[in-house]
Amino acid sequence: MMTAPQARPAVPPVVSPATAPEPAPLLDVRGLTISYGNARGTLRAASDVSFAIRPGEVMGLVGESGSGKSTVAMAILDLLGGGGRVDSGEILFDGVDLRRLSPSERRALRGDRIAAVFQDPFTSLNPALTVGHQIAEPLIQHKGLSPRQAAARVQDLLAEVGIRDPRRVAAAYPHELSGGMQQRALIATALGCEPKLLILDEPTTALDVTVEARIIDLLAKLCDSHRLSALFVSHNLGIVNRICQTVTVLYGGVVVETGATGRVLSRPAHPYAKGLVAALPRITAERRHRLPSIPGTVAKLSGAPAACVFAPRCPFAEETCRSQPQAMLTDGGGDGVRCWKADALAGTPWPDEDAGKARGPKAAQPRSAPLVEVDHLRKIYGASRSILPWLRRAGTVAVEDVSFTVGRGEVVGVVGESGSGKSTIGRALLALTEPSAGTVTFDGADLTEQVRRGDQTLRRRAQLVFQNSAASLNPRKTVGAAMDRPLVLAGRADAEERRKTVASLLTRVGLPAAYADRYPHELSGGERQRVNIARALATDPDFVVCDEAVSALDVSVQANILNLLAELRDEMGLSYLFITHDIAVVSHIADRVLVVYGGTICEEGPIGRVLRPPYHPYTEALLSAVPRLAEDGQEAPRILLEDAAPAPGGRGCVFAGRCPRKLGTVCDEQAPPVHETADGHRIVCHIPLATLAERAAVFPELADGDTRH
C-alpha cells in the first residue's frame, strides 16, 4: 500500500508571504491508479498519481517512455484504449469528478472544455478530409455553429495560430501542408471551442528543432493570452523548462517528484530526476566527455509498489529502499519528493561515469588519406523519362553538389532539418542509392562503380544503423539469427564459429550473450538499438552511417548509446557519419560537422568552430532553437525561422527564403561565396565573414572552452 503524504520533517514549514487564498485548482488528480489488463495478466501503468493544475498554469509531466505519463493524460480524456481502466482515484475538473460522469457527458467535455493536441501531426489529421473541415467539426458539434459560421471561425483560428494564408490552408488536405503547419492546424482545432484545459501529449516531439521552437513559442503565448491551463506531457526537459511553471516527474507510474520547474530542474531532489537532468545532452565543445546515463530499464509493476520503484536503477539505493515503499514527502511550498534520502542527497549530483577517467583528446588524425570521399554528389528523385510527353518529369533535387571527406577514425556529424537531404547523403555513401551525378570513393575505390559491377566487398566495410530500432529488426527472427545473416553473407561457413562471433558481438555492445535467443519484441528500445549496432559490427566494418540512431530513444538511453558509439570508435578505430537533427547530440560525438540545408552544405568545420561565431545564419538559428536548462546559463534570444518556405528555383542561396539576415536580391539571384579559414571551417554565405563574426555567441560558455583547434 502507498502511504499517505507526510510532512517532510527536515524542512521547516514555509510560511507563504502572500495571504491571498490559493485559487482552487482547475484540474485536481487524486490517487489515480490505472492498469492495463489482458489474458496474460495486469500491468499497473499508474499508481496513486496525484497532482493539481491551477487556472492559467502549465504543468509538465515528464518521465521516460513507459513511465505512464501518456496513460495519465489519456485517462483524463477518457480515451484509454487497449484494455486500460482506471481502478481508483478522482479526476476533479472544475470541482467535478469526471469519473462520475457518463461516457456521453465526458465526450461532450472533450474538444469543448478539455482539448488535446497529440504527438504526431503527420498522422493526427485525417488524410481524407480538408483541414478546414476538421477544425470546424468540434465547433459544429459543441457550439452548434452552422457550417458557414464554423468556416468563418476556422479562418480566424488559423490566423491566430500564425498561419498567414488561412483560406488556402483551410481548403487544403493534410498532405499538402508541412509538419509545422499541420501542428498549427491541430492547435487551432484544440482552441476552437475556447477550452479551459489543454492536454498536450508530446506536441513537438516529431518536429524539427526550428519548428519546435516556434510551436512552443506559440503555445506559451496562447496559454498566456487565453489564460489556459495545460498538462504538458513531454520527455524533453529543455522544452518543459521553456513552457511549464510546475513539473511532475513520473517513474514506473509513480510520482517521484513535483515542484516549481526552476527548482526541480536546477536542484532535483529525487535521484531519478537527478539522472534525467544529468543525461540531457547539452551543447558541448568537449567531445571526450561521456554523458551520464541511467542504467537499466523502466520498472513494470503488476500491483501496488512494494518498495521504491526506482531502487533497482538508483546509485544511492540502500536496503531500506528495496524493502519499503516510499511516501511522498511534501513541504509547504507545494514541492514533493518520494525519497526518504532526498534531504541527505541534497547537493549530491548524479554520478559521472567519466570522473577519474578523463582521457586527453585523441591525437589529430592525419587528414591525408580520407576513408570516404564524396565529390560533387548530386541526387535527384522522381525524374522520369517516358515516351508519353505528359509523364516526363524533371524530379526533385534532394542533394545538390555536396563534397566532403570522412577520415579514418573520424566522426563527421551531418545536421539538418527533415528534407535537408541528410539521409540521402548517408544512403549514397552506402551505395543504397545511386548518385545522379558525382562520385563516392571508399578507400580509394569508386563505390558506385564497384556495386554496379556486383562487387559487394566495399559494402561489407560500410554499415548502417537506423533510427527505428524496432522496424530495423525482423520480428520473426531471433537476435542471433538476425546477426548471423551478415556473417553468412560475408562467407563465414562454420556455424559454431558464427555463434561465438554473435556472442562476442553482443558482449561487445554490453548485452548478455544469451540475448541471441530472444526476439526483438522482448527487448527494450535501447537494447534493440544495441543489437542493431552489434549487427552493423558483424562484418567488421571501417565505416558506419548512423542515421538518427539515437533520436527515438529516451535521454537516459540515448546517453548510453552515444557512450557506446564513442567507445567503439576509440577501440576499433571506426569512422562514423552521424546524421541527426539534434545539434546537441552531434556536439557530443562528432569531430567535424556539416550543416546541411536544402541539399547543400551551408557550413562545415571542426565541431568547436561550428559552435562558435562566425556562424552561418542557419546554424545560428539551429543553435538558438536548442532547448536548454536554466543552470546551463542564460538563454540567448531565440531566432525563430519562418515555417519551411519553398526553395527558390533560381541560382541563389537555398536558405534565402527563410533567412533572418537576408541581404536582399543578391541572396536570391547569386550563388553565395565560400568563406574558408585555415582550420577547415567553411561558411557559404553572402554576408562577409567579418560581419558574421560580429554576432554574439549563442553559447557564451563555449567561447574559450575549446582547446583542440
Partner 1 sequence: MFAYTLTRLVYLALVLAVMSVLIFLVTQAMPGDVASMIAGQFASKEVVDAIAVKLGLDQPLIVQYGHWAAGILRGDLGRSLVLEQPIGPILMEALARSLVLAVVALFVVAVVGIGLGVLAAVRRGKLTDQLVSGVSYLGIAVPDFFWAIVLVLVFGSYMKLLPTGGYAPIADGFLPWASHLVLPVITLVLMLLARIARLTRSSMIDVLQTNYVKFARAKGMPESVVILRHALKNALLPTITVLAIDFGLILGGVVVIETIFSYPGMGRLLLFAIQRHDLPLIQATILIVSAAYCLANLTADLLYAFVNPKIRHGMRAS
Binding site for partner 1 (CB under 8 A): 77, 79, 81, 107-112, 115-116, 118-120, 123-129, 137-138, 141-142, 173, 175-176, 186, 189, 199, 388, 390-391, 393
Q: How far apart are CB 491 and partner 1 at their closest, in Å?
A: 41
Q: How far apart are CB 189 and partner 1 at their closest, in Å?
A: 7
Q: Which is nearer to partner 1, 49 or 116 (CB)?
A: 116
Q: Which is nearer to partner 1, 135 or 273 (CB)?
A: 135
DSSP-derived 3-state class of residue 399: strand
Q: Which is nearer to partner 1, 20 or 128 (CB)?
A: 128
Q: Which is nearer to partner 1, 19 or 104 (CB)?
A: 104
Q: What is the DSSP letter of 312?
A: G
Q: What does each C-alpha distance from 35 to 70, 253, 484, 524 come to in angstroms?
A: 13, 10, 39, 20
Q: What is the DSSP letter of 527?
A: H
* Cis peptide bond N-terminal to 614, omega within 30: yes
Q: How far apart are CB 445 and partner 1 at their closest, in Å?
A: 39
Q: How far apart are CB 192 and partner 1 at their closest, in Å?
A: 9
Report yes or no: 183 and 118 within 8 Å, Cβ to Cβ. no
List helix spans (H) across 32-146: 69-77, 103-109, 121-124, 131-143
Q: How far apart are CB 538 and partner 1 at their closest, in Å?
A: 34
Q: How far apart are CB 73 and partner 1 at their closest, in Å?
A: 10
Q: How far apart are CB 35 and partner 1 at their closest, in Å?
A: 19
Q: Which is nearer to partner 1, 69 or 661 (CB)?
A: 69
DSSP-derived 3-state class of residue 321: helix
CA-based angle 248:581:120, to the nearest 5?
A: 55
Q: Which is nearer to partner 1, 175 or 357 (CB)?
A: 175
179-182: Cβ within 8 A, 24+ apart: 179/121, 179/122, 179/206, 179/207, 179/208, 179/211, 179/418, 180/207, 180/208, 180/211, 180/214, 180/215, 180/643, 180/644, 181/643, 182/121, 182/122, 182/124, 182/125, 182/131
Report yes or no: 524 and 352 within 8 Å, Cβ to Cβ. no
Q: How far apart are CB 63 and partner 1 at their closest, in Å?
A: 21
Report yes or no: 270 and 257 within 8 Å, Cβ to Cβ. yes
Q: How far apart are CB 182 and partner 1 at their closest, in Å?
A: 11
Q: Which is nearer to partner 1, 133 or 616 (CB)?
A: 133
DSSP-derived 3-state class of residue 577: strand
> What is d(CA 150, CA 168) in angstroms, rounded to the nearest whole number?
16
The grid coordinates of residue 156 equal 480566424
Among 30, 5, 3, 48, residue whose Cα is nearest residue 301: 48
Q: Which is nearer to partner 1, 73 or 537 (CB)?
A: 73
> What is d(CA 26, CA 503) in angstroms, rounded to the nearest whole number?
55
Q: Which is nearer to partner 1, 107 or 408 (CB)?
A: 107
CA-based angle 677:680:683, to the nearest 5?
A: 65
Q: Which is nearer to partner 1, 15 or 390 (CB)?
A: 390
Half-sphere exposure of 668 (CA within 13 A, CB side): 7
Q: How far apart are CB 174 and partner 1 at their closest, in Å?
A: 8
